[in-house]
């Protein structure tokens, strides 16, 4: 079995087991029920009378439009309050709806600022993503002039020694070493692009740890790195005191 396929199946099995053991969550943004038909008729009547008043400027029509406008506004507020009360009464800690609502109420959304670049101002998300990508590409350039020749020479010697003896066996790992490395994972760290949290890896069965150990040893022997491990999710965090408009 190819290493890429093995790694994908391993993470797929972990995510499947995690989904099966996680309580089902209620959708975060459930749509509200539609407005009652009688209420919609009153809104339609108000709009028709308002258009007639804009043509005729009849004071009687204006008074009726204002009366309907106040009635619609009052009934709409009552309907919204009823829906909000129903939503609050339906919150349940078991399906995590109470937690999501508390998080939504307590955390005020902060709109991301625009970014100022040499080519102009980036406003949309795709434009900002391009700005960050260009900035990261500028920072992570290959080093053409090594600053420490002694270190470069040390790596060149090690590389030549390895290439001259390809039949030498790599230093393989074992399940105990893999398990010890997993214990050192911090559960507060964000998962990678595949969405596997560190907390789930800490609860792996011994069979899964053994499979992961075999996969790592296959990587060391074949010198083939899984494609899924070559991708990362980069999250830009603003440093304190830095200009919001500069990437």
Judge whether 234 lies within some domain. no
Tokens 């209420």 -> residue = 39
Judge whether 116 lies within some domain. no
> Domain residues for 61?
37-95
Q: What percent of the chain has pLDDT over 70?
A: 87
**167-220 pLDDT, tens digit each:** 667 788 999 999 999 999 888 888 888 888 888 888 888 989 999 999 999 888
Half-sphere exposure of 52 (CA within 13 A, CB side): 14
Judge whether 56 lies within some domain. yes
- How much is the pTM? 0.50
Range list of β-strands (E), the chain: 115-117, 120-122
Judge whether 241 lies within some domain. no
**124-156 pLDDT, tens digit each:** 888 888 888 888 888 777 766 666 777 778 878
Judge whether 247 lies within some domain. no
* Helix ranges, 95-185 (H): 97-106, 125-139, 149-164, 175-183
Whether 120 has a pLDDT exceeding 90, the answer reads: no
d(CA 207, CA 17): 14
Beta strands at 115-117 and 120-122: parallel, antiparallel or unpaired: antiparallel
d(CA 4, CA 152): 32
Question: 220-229: long-range contacts at Cβ-Cβ below 8 A with a sequence spacing of 24 or more?
Answer: 220/170, 220/171, 220/172, 220/173, 221/169, 221/170, 221/172, 222/3, 224/3, 226/3, 226/4, 226/7, 227/4, 228/4, 228/7, 228/8, 228/11, 228/193, 228/194, 229/7
Indicate the number of domains in the chain.
1
Phi, psi angle pair for 116, to nearest 5°: -95, 125
Judge whether 71 lies within some domain. yes
The pLDDT value recorded for residue 179 is 92
Contact 90, 220 (CB under 8 A): no
Q: What percent of the chain has pLDDT over 90?
A: 8
Judge whether 42 lies within some domain. yes
Helix, strand or coil, per DSSP, at residue 23: coil
């Amino acid at each position: 079995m190819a290493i890429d396929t093995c790694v994908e199946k391993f993470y797929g099995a972990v995510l499947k087991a995690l989904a099966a053991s996680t309580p089902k969550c209620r959708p975060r943004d459930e749509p509200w029920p539609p407005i009652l038909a009688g209420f919609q008729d009153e809104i339609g009547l108000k709009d028709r009378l308002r258009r007639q008043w804009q043509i005729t400027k009849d004071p009687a029509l204006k008074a009726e439009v204002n009366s309907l406008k106040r009635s619609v506004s009052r009934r709409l507020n009552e309907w919204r309050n009823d829906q909000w009360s129903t939503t609050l009464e339906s919150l349940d800690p078991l399906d995590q709806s109470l937690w999501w609502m508390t998080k939504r109420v307590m955390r005020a959304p902060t709109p991301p600022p625009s970014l100022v670049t040499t080519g102009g101002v980036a406003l949309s998300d795709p434009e900002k993503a391009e700005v960050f990508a260009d900035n990261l590409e500028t920072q992570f350039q290959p080093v053409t002039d090594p600053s420490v020749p002694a270190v470069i020479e040390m790596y060149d010697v090690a590389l030549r020694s390895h290439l001259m003896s390809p039949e030498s066996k790599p230093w393989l790992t074992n399940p105990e070493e893999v398990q010890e490395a997993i214990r050192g994972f911090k559960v507060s760290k964000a998962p990678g692009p595949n969405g596997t949290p560190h907390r789930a890896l800490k609860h792996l069965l011994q069979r899964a740890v053994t499979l992961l150990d075999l996969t790592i040893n296959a990587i060391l022997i074949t010198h083939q790195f899984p494609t899924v491990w070559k991708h990362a999710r980069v999250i830009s965090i603003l440093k304190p005191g830095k200009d919001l408009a500069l990437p």
